[in-house]
Chains A and B, each alone.
Chain A
Amino acid sequence: MQTFSEADVEEFGRELDKIRDDVIASRGEDDARYIRRVIAVQRALEVSGRTLLFASVLPPAWLAGTAALATAKILENMEIGHNVLHGQWDWMRDPEIHSSTWEWDLVSPAGHWKYTHNYLHHTWTNVLGKDRDIGFVLLRLSPEQPWHPYYLGQPLYNAVLAPFFEWGVALHDLEVERLRGGDKSWTEVFTQLREILRKAGRQAVKDYMAFPLLAGPLFFPVLVGNLTANMTRNVWAHTVIFCGHFPDEAATFSEEQIEGETRGEWYLRQLLGSCNLTGGPLFHIMTGNLSHQIEHHLFPDLPSNRYAEIAPRVRALCERFGLPYNTGSLLRQTARVWKRVFRLALPTPKQRPEPDAAPARLQTVPAPAGYTTGIDVLGRAPALRGASG
């Protein structure tokens, strides 16, 4: 058994910093060409999809149009929107492709999402009570979340959430649960709600009124095509995103554990809380490169097209330090997510140890329960997962 010392954590962090510096030093024309090409392809696909839908008296045209539109929406949301809003392309100083000017084809306004996602989720990844993306406040995805009979229905909630994911995200960004503690005022919530309604209204008019009306007698095929495209995108995004943090082997953390966290420890938490997906280049693009969730969480602001290139280096580093590098196929990881959703719908037999019994900081985890090589076939880090393992 190899233990992971405090010095190791910092060395691990320095090595990751080096990878980051290498990418930053080599960002250039090719990367700029890549994102501009993806944007051009996405917009061309969208226009083609909508045009084909106007010809949907022919069933194949409806199918092709809906597929093209769904693909365009997935690209727009994931490889373009998500990554541009992360500031991954800000270095180009192009006001047309910049996190401060971008708005995406989703009902949630980009500004709200940038706060809850870029700041809350990426800073406090998988920290209970801080990262609101753990179960999106709706589900119990960590055994440390206290059980309640409400969670018995969570397989159903999750199944319903998937096709309406963009609406879920919009409401999630409202953070209504913070009203209770007085952390957020009603005025703030109402202001945000107005912004959501304005954005969502335009989105809905576009897909469910304007385009169907333009299609005249083909009102319903176009309406259903647009609805299908949006829902396909929603289910796809939901699936990919849940595979990023909630398969069984992803670790969650307590606030005590991350107190006074160093940069190395922050990297470590990002690694242990994230899971990759295996697949080919096209698959990676269609997931917005969130199939490289680990690399994305280590370096949220590096251009997404570079994650594939640095993944082997990150993985080699994990092997060197005997750290798990969670990855699996989409099918396998989705199965693991659902397994977790079902299992945690029921109360967890053992309760989480009291905070004072829990390790105060990551590097003080005692050796047998700490980071060890060959943790198990699934690459679990049991000590970080509390009692349930």
Chain B
Amino acid sequence: MTGPARTPIEDVTLRLADTVAWLTTPLMPEDYLTLINPLWSSRELRGRVEAVRPETKDVASLVIRPGRGWSAHRAGQFIRVGVDVDGVRHWRTYSLSSAPERGAGRVTITVKAVPGGVVSTHLVHRTKPGTIVGLTRPQGDFVLPEPVPSRLLFVTAGSGITPVMAMLRSLARIGEMPDAIVLHSAPTREEVIFGPELRTLASRFPNLLLHERHTRSSGRLDLSQLPDLCPDWSERHVWACGPTGMLREAETYWREAGVVDRLHVEHFRPVLTGSTAGGAGHVRFLASGREADTDGATPLLVVGENAGILMSSGCRMGICYSCTGRLRSGRVRDLRTGREYGEEGEIVQTCVSAAVGNVEIEL
């Protein structure tokens, strides 16, 4: 990993740590220091949850103070958060909902408790201030360009508002709101995440137009209504975030209009086929020397994690390629498309691939 150039102070700190390591070998000085403050870790970026603020009945914002190694984010980016649930570390991806922090500040993620979601329900309902979580540095290119275009359109639904909220907060803070339209869908008025804040922003900035769509009473937003809501939609740069169905529709709509280059989308989770056509099988993880049975529908990443392997992973939805491994034998199924593939030596994305029968993978 190449980071920014080290400052002289960091240089001295590093050399000092190397020297002190002769006293702590085989451990590092930080193995002792992190017992005092876990945020001092240099091996693992961590954060401390400082507050959990309910937003709606099943959504909460977690205010997190990131530790050593954090770098400031751009509005719209996401991070991965590692949370211990029942003693087991789980990693999930969340958009940052706060505006870029000033100095060593705090950041906010906003999480919706998905029914049956181990991590999201834990974060929303059972996380207490003081909890230490694992973090990754902000990433993703779902961000506003510099300079900000003069006319913007945001199409969001549900918790898809979170990265857009970071953008709006950021623009509001600078005090220069471009001509922006927000088309946001939520089941009811009460379930609009950041509802009061969005409405306040809209009344504060005449340039900001907020269209709330309450789907339980008015039905889903049909893109054919778009020209009525926003006559110049095809001339605007669009940031869309929400359920995959909505994003697919948007992609088709903008492509057919020939302006798909103006559409920026952020996917939240992959659509898995849930097919078990491969049936049960056995996976051998060659590098770690572990084996596990699989049902043919569970991603190889999860199979490995459940077998106790420290699998490297990123987005967990097939876009970032941090979870890949080389296939030695067997075939796999892409859980997004149902396509079966795999030749010896092929690189497989473990987060969206399940074993078809027996598989050997170099992980």
Indicate whether A and B interact.
yes
Contacts of A101 in B (CB 8 A): 310
Contacts of B35 in A (CB 8 A): 40, 43-44
With A95-B44, A100-B288 known as contacts, the answer to whether A202 contacts B87 (CB < 8 A) is no
Is B32 a contact partner of A47 (Cβ separation < 8 A)?
Answer: yes
Interface string of A98-111 (1 = CB under 8 A from B): 10110111000000
Quick check: is B10 within 8 A (CB to CB) of the other chain? no
Q: Which of A28, A87, A205, A211 is close to B87, meaning CB atoms less than 8 Å apart?
A: A28
Is A87 a contact partner of B26 (Cβ separation < 8 A)?
Answer: no
Is B44 a contact partner of A87 (Cβ separation < 8 A)?
Answer: no
Cα of A388 to Cα of B220 in the assembled complex, Å: 84
Cα of A30 to Cα of B88 in the assembled complex, Å: 11
Is A202 a contact partner of B310 (Cβ separation < 8 A)?
Answer: no
Interface string of B23-50 (1 = CB under 8 A from A): 1111100011001000000011000000
Which residues of A in the span 88-125 have a Cβ within 8 Å of any Cβ on B? 90-96, 98, 100-101, 103-105
Which residues of B in the span 1-38 have a Cβ within 8 Å of any Cβ on A? 22-27, 31-32, 35
The smallest C-beta distance from A82 to any residue of chain B, in angstroms, reads 15
Is A28 a contact partner of B86 (Cβ separation < 8 A)?
Answer: yes
Q: Identify the closest chain A residue to B307 (Cβ).
A: A90
Quick check: is A231 within 8 A (CB to CB) of the other chain? no
Cα of A274 to Cα of B23 in the assembled complex, Å: 37
Cα of A28 to Cα of B84 in the assembled complex, Å: 10
With A28-B87, A32-B87 known as contacts, the answer to whether A93 contacts B32 (CB < 8 A) is no
Interface size on B, residues (CB 8 A): 22
Contacts of B89 in A (CB 8 A): 92-94
Quick check: is A376 within 8 A (CB to CB) of the other chain? no
Q: Identify the closest chain B residue to A33 (Cβ).
A: B87
Is A31 a contact partner of B87 (Cβ separation < 8 A)?
Answer: yes
Contacts of B305 in A (CB 8 A): 93
The smallest C-beta distance from A270 to any residue of chain B, in angstroms, reads 20
Is A100 a contact partner of B310 (Cβ separation < 8 A)?
Answer: yes
With A43-B32, A95-B44, A101-B310 known as contacts, the answer to whether A203 contacts B25 (CB < 8 A) is yes
With A43-B32, A93-B89 known as contacts, the answer to whether A202 contacts B26 (CB < 8 A) is yes
Cα of A103 to Cα of B26 in the assembled complex, Å: 6
Which residues of B in the span 35-78 have a Cβ within 8 Å of any Cβ on A? 35, 43-44
Is B31 a contact partner of A206 (Cβ separation < 8 A)?
Answer: no
Contacts of A104 in B (CB 8 A): 26
The smallest C-beta distance from B204 to any residue of chain A, in angstroms, reads 45
Quick check: is A352 within 8 A (CB to CB) of the other chain? no
Interface residue tally on A, bucketed by range: 20 to 34
Is A92 a contact partner of B87 (Cβ separation < 8 A)?
Answer: yes
Quick check: is A378 within 8 A (CB to CB) of the other chain? no
Is B88 a contact partner of A210 (Cβ separation < 8 A)?
Answer: no
Contacts of B32 in A (CB 8 A): 43, 47
Q: Which of A90, A91, A199 is close to B26, meaning CB atoms less than 8 Å apart?
A: A199
The smallest C-beta distance from B180 to any residue of chain A, in angstroms, reads 41
Among B44, B86, B288, find the residue whose CB has the most chain A CB atoms closer than 10 A. B86
Contacts of B130 in A (CB 8 A): none
Cα of A202 to Cα of B31 in the assembled complex, Å: 17
Quick check: is A27 within 8 A (CB to CB) of the other chain? yes
Is B310 a contact partner of A210 (Cβ separation < 8 A)?
Answer: no
Quick check: is B279 within 8 A (CB to CB) of the other chain? no
Contacts of B87 in A (CB 8 A): 27-33, 91-92
Contacts of A32 in B (CB 8 A): 84, 87
Q: Identify the closest chain A residue to B41 (Cβ).
A: A96
Quick check: is B308 within 8 A (CB to CB) of the other chain? yes
Is A206 a contact partner of B308 (Cβ separation < 8 A)?
Answer: no
Contacts of B86 in A (CB 8 A): 27-29
With A43-B31, A43-B35, A100-B310 known as contacts, the answer to whether A210 contacts B84 (CB < 8 A) is no
Which residues of B in the span 283-329 have a Cβ within 8 Å of any Cβ on A? 288, 305, 308-310
The smallest C-beta distance from B304 to any residue of chain A, in angstroms, reads 10
Q: Identify the closest chain B residue to A50 (Cβ).
A: B23
The smallest C-beta distance from A75 to any residue of chain B, in angstroms, reads 14
Which residues of B in the span 177-226 have a Cβ within 8 Å of any Cβ on A? none
Is A92 a contact partner of B26 (Cβ separation < 8 A)?
Answer: no
Contacts of A103 in B (CB 8 A): 26-27
Is B88 a contact partner of A92 (Cβ separation < 8 A)?
Answer: yes
Contacts of A91 in B (CB 8 A): 87-88, 308
Cα of A28 to Cα of B22 in the assembled complex, Å: 35
Q: Which of A40, A96, A202 is close to B22, meaning CB atoms less than 8 Å apart?
A: A202
Contacts of A95 in B (CB 8 A): 43-44, 310
Cα of A4 to Cα of B142 in the assembled complex, Å: 68
Contacts of B24 in A (CB 8 A): 206
With A28-B87, A92-B84, A100-B288 known as contacts, the answer to whether A211 contacts B23 (CB < 8 A) is yes
Is A206 a contact partner of B88 (Cβ separation < 8 A)?
Answer: no
Which residues of A in the span 197-243 have a Cβ within 8 Å of any Cβ on B? 199, 202-203, 205-206, 210-211, 214
Q: Identify the closest chain A residue to B308 (Cβ).
A: A90
Is A93 a contact partner of B310 (Cβ separation < 8 A)?
Answer: yes
Closest 4 pairs (CB-CB, A-B): A32-B87, A90-B308, A103-B26, A93-B89
Could you show 27 A-B contacts with beta carbons less than 8 Å apart? A28-B86, A28-B87, A29-B86, A30-B87, A43-B31, A47-B32, A87-B308, A90-B309, A91-B308, A92-B84, A92-B87, A93-B89, A95-B43, A96-B44, A100-B288, A100-B309, A101-B310, A105-B27, A202-B22, A202-B25, A202-B26, A205-B22, A205-B25, A206-B23, A206-B25, A210-B23, A214-B23
Known pairs A90-B310, A94-B84, A103-B27. 7 more at Cβ < 8 A? A29-B86, A31-B87, A43-B35, A91-B308, A93-B88, A100-B310, A103-B26
